[in-house]
Structure 1
Amino acid sequence: MPTKSTAVPKSEEAVAEGLDEAMIRLVVHAFYAEAREDPVIGPVFRAHVADERWQGHLEKIVAFWCSSLLGTRTYDGRPMPKHLAIPELTDDHFRRWLALFRHTVNNLCPPKTAGLMIARSERIAEAFRINIAMHRGEDLTFRPPLTREPYP
Protein backbone atom coordinates (compact mmCIF):
# COMPACT_ATOMS: atom_id res chain seq x y z
CA MET A 1 0.00 0.00 0.00
CA PRO A 2 1.15 3.56 -0.53
CA THR A 3 2.95 5.13 2.39
CA LYS A 4 1.40 8.05 4.26
CA SER A 5 3.58 10.48 2.33
CA THR A 6 2.59 9.00 -1.04
CA ALA A 7 -0.84 10.03 -2.24
CA VAL A 8 -2.84 7.53 -4.24
CA PRO A 9 -3.48 8.96 -7.69
CA LYS A 10 -7.07 9.88 -8.49
CA SER A 11 -9.02 8.34 -11.37
CA GLU A 12 -8.96 11.71 -13.17
CA GLU A 13 -5.15 11.74 -13.09
CA ALA A 14 -5.00 8.20 -14.48
CA VAL A 15 -7.52 9.06 -17.21
CA ALA A 16 -5.40 12.08 -18.14
CA GLU A 17 -2.42 9.79 -18.76
CA GLY A 18 -4.46 7.31 -20.81
CA LEU A 19 -6.52 5.07 -18.53
CA ASP A 20 -9.52 3.86 -20.51
CA GLU A 21 -11.46 0.66 -21.14
CA ALA A 22 -8.88 -0.56 -23.67
CA MET A 23 -6.07 -0.25 -21.10
CA ILE A 24 -8.15 -2.01 -18.46
CA ARG A 25 -8.94 -4.80 -20.93
CA LEU A 26 -5.23 -5.15 -21.75
CA VAL A 27 -4.32 -5.36 -18.04
CA VAL A 28 -7.08 -7.83 -17.19
CA HIS A 29 -6.29 -10.15 -20.08
CA ALA A 30 -2.51 -10.04 -19.51
CA PHE A 31 -2.82 -10.48 -15.76
CA TYR A 32 -5.27 -13.37 -15.86
CA ALA A 33 -3.34 -15.16 -18.62
CA GLU A 34 -0.41 -15.25 -16.20
CA ALA A 35 -2.51 -15.86 -13.09
CA ARG A 36 -4.32 -18.82 -14.61
CA GLU A 37 -0.94 -20.50 -15.24
CA ASP A 38 0.59 -19.54 -11.89
CA PRO A 39 1.39 -22.55 -9.65
CA VAL A 40 -0.16 -20.91 -6.56
CA ILE A 41 -3.35 -19.27 -7.82
CA GLY A 42 -3.81 -20.96 -11.19
CA PRO A 43 -5.26 -24.17 -9.72
CA VAL A 44 -7.91 -22.14 -7.87
CA PHE A 45 -8.99 -20.37 -11.06
CA ARG A 46 -9.04 -23.59 -13.07
CA ALA A 47 -11.03 -25.40 -10.36
CA HIS A 48 -13.71 -22.71 -10.04
CA VAL A 49 -14.01 -21.20 -13.54
CA ALA A 50 -14.32 -23.80 -16.27
CA ASP A 51 -12.44 -23.23 -19.53
CA GLU A 52 -15.67 -22.73 -21.47
CA ARG A 53 -16.71 -19.94 -19.06
CA TRP A 54 -13.32 -18.24 -18.90
CA GLN A 55 -13.86 -15.60 -21.62
CA GLY A 56 -17.18 -14.57 -20.07
CA HIS A 57 -15.49 -14.37 -16.68
CA LEU A 58 -12.80 -12.07 -18.10
CA GLU A 59 -15.49 -9.77 -19.52
CA LYS A 60 -17.08 -9.54 -16.05
CA ILE A 61 -13.70 -8.64 -14.57
CA VAL A 62 -13.16 -5.96 -17.23
CA ALA A 63 -16.60 -4.54 -16.39
CA PHE A 64 -15.73 -4.63 -12.67
CA TRP A 65 -12.51 -2.65 -13.16
CA CYS A 66 -14.15 -0.20 -15.59
CA SER A 67 -16.87 0.45 -13.03
CA SER A 68 -14.36 0.78 -10.21
CA LEU A 69 -11.86 3.02 -11.98
CA LEU A 70 -13.90 4.82 -14.63
CA GLY A 71 -17.33 4.90 -12.99
CA THR A 72 -18.97 3.18 -15.97
CA ARG A 73 -21.51 1.25 -13.88
CA THR A 74 -21.26 -1.65 -16.33
CA TYR A 75 -20.63 -4.23 -13.61
CA ASP A 76 -23.66 -5.65 -11.87
CA GLY A 77 -22.20 -8.74 -10.21
CA ARG A 78 -21.55 -9.70 -6.63
CA PRO A 79 -17.99 -11.05 -6.36
CA MET A 80 -17.93 -11.60 -2.60
CA PRO A 81 -20.31 -14.60 -2.45
CA LYS A 82 -18.31 -16.36 -5.18
CA HIS A 83 -15.08 -15.88 -3.24
CA LEU A 84 -16.67 -16.89 0.07
CA ALA A 85 -17.53 -20.22 -1.58
CA ILE A 86 -13.86 -21.04 -2.29
CA PRO A 87 -12.68 -22.93 0.80
CA GLU A 88 -9.03 -23.11 -0.23
CA LEU A 89 -8.47 -19.33 -0.44
CA THR A 90 -5.75 -18.18 1.95
CA ASP A 91 -3.58 -15.13 2.48
CA ASP A 92 -0.95 -16.84 0.30
CA HIS A 93 -3.37 -16.64 -2.62
CA PHE A 94 -4.08 -12.97 -2.02
CA ARG A 95 -0.37 -12.13 -1.69
CA ARG A 96 0.41 -13.90 -4.97
CA TRP A 97 -2.57 -12.29 -6.74
CA LEU A 98 -1.32 -8.87 -5.64
CA ALA A 99 2.31 -9.57 -6.63
CA LEU A 100 1.26 -10.68 -10.11
CA PHE A 101 -1.12 -7.75 -10.44
CA ARG A 102 1.53 -5.20 -9.39
CA HIS A 103 3.94 -6.69 -11.90
CA THR A 104 1.37 -6.53 -14.69
CA VAL A 105 0.23 -2.95 -14.13
CA ASN A 106 3.78 -1.68 -13.60
CA ASN A 107 4.73 -3.19 -16.96
CA LEU A 108 1.66 -2.07 -18.91
CA CYS A 109 0.48 1.20 -17.39
CA PRO A 110 1.78 4.73 -16.93
CA PRO A 111 2.84 5.53 -13.33
CA LYS A 112 -0.32 7.18 -11.99
CA THR A 113 -2.54 4.54 -13.53
CA ALA A 114 -0.36 1.78 -12.08
CA GLY A 115 -0.44 3.49 -8.66
CA LEU A 116 -4.21 3.82 -8.74
CA MET A 117 -4.75 0.22 -9.82
CA ILE A 118 -2.31 -1.13 -7.24
CA ALA A 119 -3.91 0.85 -4.41
CA ARG A 120 -7.39 -0.27 -5.49
CA SER A 121 -6.31 -3.92 -5.81
CA GLU A 122 -4.80 -3.86 -2.31
CA ARG A 123 -8.00 -2.42 -0.82
CA ILE A 124 -10.07 -5.04 -2.63
CA ALA A 125 -7.80 -7.88 -1.48
CA GLU A 126 -7.95 -6.71 2.15
CA ALA A 127 -11.74 -6.43 2.03
CA PHE A 128 -12.08 -9.89 0.51
CA ARG A 129 -9.72 -11.59 2.95
CA ILE A 130 -11.38 -9.95 5.98
CA ASN A 131 -14.87 -10.88 4.76
CA ILE A 132 -13.74 -14.45 4.05
CA ALA A 133 -12.18 -14.71 7.53
CA MET A 134 -15.37 -13.38 9.17
CA HIS A 135 -17.45 -15.81 7.11
CA ARG A 136 -15.23 -18.66 8.37
CA GLY A 137 -15.59 -17.49 11.98
CA GLU A 138 -11.91 -16.61 12.36
CA ASP A 139 -10.72 -14.23 15.07
CA LEU A 140 -9.84 -10.89 13.47
CA THR A 141 -8.70 -9.13 16.63
CA PHE A 142 -4.97 -9.17 15.89
CA ARG A 143 -5.01 -9.90 12.15
CA PRO A 144 -2.27 -7.84 10.48
CA PRO A 145 -2.69 -6.53 6.94
CA LEU A 146 -1.26 -8.53 4.08
CA THR A 147 2.45 -8.29 3.52
CA ARG A 148 3.78 -7.78 0.02
CA GLU A 149 5.18 -10.80 -1.77
CA PRO A 150 7.82 -10.10 -4.41
CA TYR A 151 7.07 -11.05 -7.99
CA PRO A 152 8.08 -14.67 -8.52
Structure 2
Amino acid sequence: MNHEDDKQTLDSDSVTALVHNFYTDVRADPVLAPVFDEAIGAHWPEHLERMVQFWSAVALGEHGFKGDVFGKHMALDGVTPEHFTLWLGLWKKHTEALFHPEIARALQYMAHNIARNLFRGFFGHFPQGNLAADPAAASAG
Protein backbone atom coordinates (compact mmCIF):
# COMPACT_ATOMS: atom_id res chain seq x y z
CA MET A 1 0.00 0.00 0.00
CA ASN A 2 1.30 3.44 -0.92
CA HIS A 3 0.96 5.79 2.03
CA GLU A 4 1.26 8.77 -0.29
CA ASP A 5 -2.23 7.88 -1.53
CA ASP A 6 -3.50 8.52 2.00
CA LYS A 7 -2.27 12.12 1.96
CA GLN A 8 -4.88 14.85 2.02
CA THR A 9 -5.40 17.91 -0.11
CA LEU A 10 -5.29 21.29 1.56
CA ASP A 11 -8.87 22.29 2.33
CA SER A 12 -11.03 23.27 5.29
CA ASP A 13 -11.42 19.69 6.50
CA SER A 14 -7.71 18.93 6.37
CA VAL A 15 -6.82 22.20 8.13
CA THR A 16 -9.30 21.31 10.87
CA ALA A 17 -7.78 17.83 11.21
CA LEU A 18 -4.26 19.28 11.28
CA VAL A 19 -5.07 21.80 13.99
CA HIS A 20 -6.91 19.32 16.20
CA ASN A 21 -4.28 16.57 15.87
CA PHE A 22 -1.43 19.01 16.36
CA TYR A 23 -2.90 20.54 19.52
CA THR A 24 -3.62 17.09 20.94
CA ASP A 25 0.15 16.57 20.90
CA VAL A 26 0.84 20.09 22.19
CA ARG A 27 -1.43 19.42 25.16
CA ALA A 28 0.40 16.16 25.87
CA ASP A 29 3.90 17.63 25.62
CA PRO A 30 5.46 18.09 29.08
CA VAL A 31 7.23 21.31 28.07
CA LEU A 32 4.58 22.95 25.87
CA ALA A 33 1.45 21.96 27.79
CA PRO A 34 2.05 24.13 30.88
CA VAL A 35 2.46 27.33 28.84
CA PHE A 36 -0.61 26.60 26.75
CA ASP A 37 -2.70 25.49 29.71
CA GLU A 38 -1.78 28.65 31.62
CA ALA A 39 -2.82 30.83 28.70
CA ILE A 40 -5.89 28.90 27.54
CA GLY A 41 -7.19 27.28 30.70
CA ALA A 42 -10.61 25.73 30.17
CA HIS A 43 -11.09 27.50 26.84
CA TRP A 44 -9.58 24.83 24.59
CA PRO A 45 -12.68 24.39 22.39
CA GLU A 46 -12.71 28.13 21.62
CA HIS A 47 -8.94 28.15 21.08
CA LEU A 48 -9.12 25.26 18.64
CA GLU A 49 -11.88 26.99 16.70
CA ARG A 50 -9.78 30.17 16.51
CA MET A 51 -6.72 28.22 15.42
CA VAL A 52 -8.73 26.57 12.63
CA GLN A 53 -9.83 30.06 11.56
CA PHE A 54 -6.26 31.35 11.78
CA TRP A 55 -4.70 28.52 9.76
CA SER A 56 -7.58 28.64 7.26
CA ALA A 57 -6.77 32.31 6.74
CA VAL A 58 -3.02 31.71 6.46
CA ALA A 59 -3.09 28.55 4.37
CA LEU A 60 -6.29 28.90 2.37
CA GLY A 61 -6.74 32.67 2.21
CA GLU A 62 -10.11 32.39 3.94
CA HIS A 63 -11.52 35.40 5.71
CA GLY A 64 -12.93 35.29 9.20
CA PHE A 65 -9.93 35.44 11.48
CA LYS A 66 -9.55 38.67 13.39
CA GLY A 67 -7.06 39.00 16.19
CA ASP A 68 -3.78 40.32 17.48
CA VAL A 69 -1.57 37.25 17.16
CA PHE A 70 1.61 39.09 18.11
CA GLY A 71 0.10 40.90 21.09
CA LYS A 72 -1.57 37.78 22.48
CA HIS A 73 1.69 35.86 22.35
CA MET A 74 3.76 38.69 23.83
CA ALA A 75 1.50 38.58 26.91
CA LEU A 76 2.59 35.01 27.69
CA ASP A 77 5.03 34.28 30.51
CA GLY A 78 7.72 31.63 30.60
CA VAL A 79 8.27 31.20 26.87
CA THR A 80 11.74 29.90 25.99
CA PRO A 81 13.51 29.14 22.70
CA GLU A 82 12.86 25.45 23.37
CA HIS A 83 9.12 26.06 23.11
CA PHE A 84 9.58 27.28 19.54
CA THR A 85 11.68 24.26 18.60
CA LEU A 86 9.19 21.81 20.08
CA TRP A 87 6.17 23.58 18.57
CA LEU A 88 7.73 23.60 15.10
CA GLY A 89 8.83 19.98 15.47
CA LEU A 90 5.27 18.91 16.24
CA TRP A 91 3.94 21.04 13.38
CA LYS A 92 6.41 19.34 11.01
CA LYS A 93 5.37 15.90 12.25
CA HIS A 94 1.68 16.60 11.70
CA THR A 95 1.99 18.37 8.36
CA GLU A 96 4.14 15.54 7.01
CA ALA A 97 1.69 12.93 8.29
CA LEU A 98 -1.33 14.56 6.64
CA PHE A 99 -0.10 16.15 3.44
CA HIS A 100 1.98 15.54 0.34
CA PRO A 101 5.53 16.88 0.78
CA GLU A 102 5.01 20.10 -1.18
CA ILE A 103 1.97 21.05 0.91
CA ALA A 104 3.69 20.02 4.14
CA ARG A 105 6.74 22.15 3.28
CA ALA A 106 4.55 25.16 2.47
CA LEU A 107 2.74 24.88 5.80
CA GLN A 108 6.06 24.46 7.61
CA TYR A 109 7.42 27.55 5.87
CA MET A 110 4.39 29.56 6.99
CA ALA A 111 4.75 28.34 10.58
CA HIS A 112 8.49 29.00 10.59
CA ASN A 113 7.96 32.61 9.48
CA ILE A 114 5.36 33.16 12.19
CA ALA A 115 7.66 31.57 14.77
CA ARG A 116 10.63 33.73 13.70
CA ASN A 117 8.63 36.91 14.20
CA LEU A 118 7.30 35.79 17.58
CA PHE A 119 10.79 34.67 18.60
CA ARG A 120 12.09 38.15 17.76
CA GLY A 121 9.32 39.68 19.86
CA PHE A 122 10.23 37.56 22.87
CA PHE A 123 14.01 37.63 22.64
CA GLY A 124 14.82 40.81 20.70
CA HIS A 125 16.50 39.07 17.75
CA PHE A 126 15.73 36.54 15.09
CA PRO A 127 16.81 32.99 15.86
CA GLN A 128 20.04 31.79 14.37
CA GLY A 129 19.54 28.92 11.94
CA ASN A 130 16.47 26.76 11.66
CA LEU A 131 14.33 26.73 14.79
CA ALA A 132 12.87 23.32 14.05
CA ALA A 133 16.15 21.63 13.21
CA ASP A 134 18.56 22.73 15.89
CA PRO A 135 17.39 23.59 19.43
CA ALA A 136 20.82 25.01 20.27
CA ALA A 137 20.62 27.42 17.33
CA ALA A 138 17.35 28.84 18.62
CA SER A 139 18.98 30.07 21.81
CA ALA A 140 22.21 31.31 20.21
CA GLY A 141 22.80 34.92 19.35
Judge same fold: TM > 0.5, yes or no: yes
Aligned to 2:62: 72
TM-score, normalised to structure 1, is 0.77
Any stretches of 5+ residues in structure 2 without a counterpart?
1-7, 136-141
Q: Aligned partners of 1:42 and 1:127: how far apart in 2?
A: 21
Could you tell me the percent identity over the aligned residues?
31
Matches within 5 A, 1:75-114: 75-114=65-104
Matches within 5 A, 1:1-152: 18-51=9-42, 53-134=43-124, 140=125, 144-145=128-129, 146=131, 148-149=133-134
Deviation at 1:143, TM superposition (A): 5.2
Contact 2:22 2:91 in 1 (8 A): yes
TM-score, normalised to structure 2, is 0.83
Any stretches of 5+ residues in structure 1 without a counterpart?
1-16, 135-139
Aligned length: 127
- Judging by fraction of residues, say which structure has more helix: 2
RMSD of Structure 2 on Structure 1 (CA)? 1.8
For CA contacts below 8 A with separation 6 or more, give which structure has more relative contact order.
1
The DSSP-based 3-state class of the residue aligned with 1:75 is coil
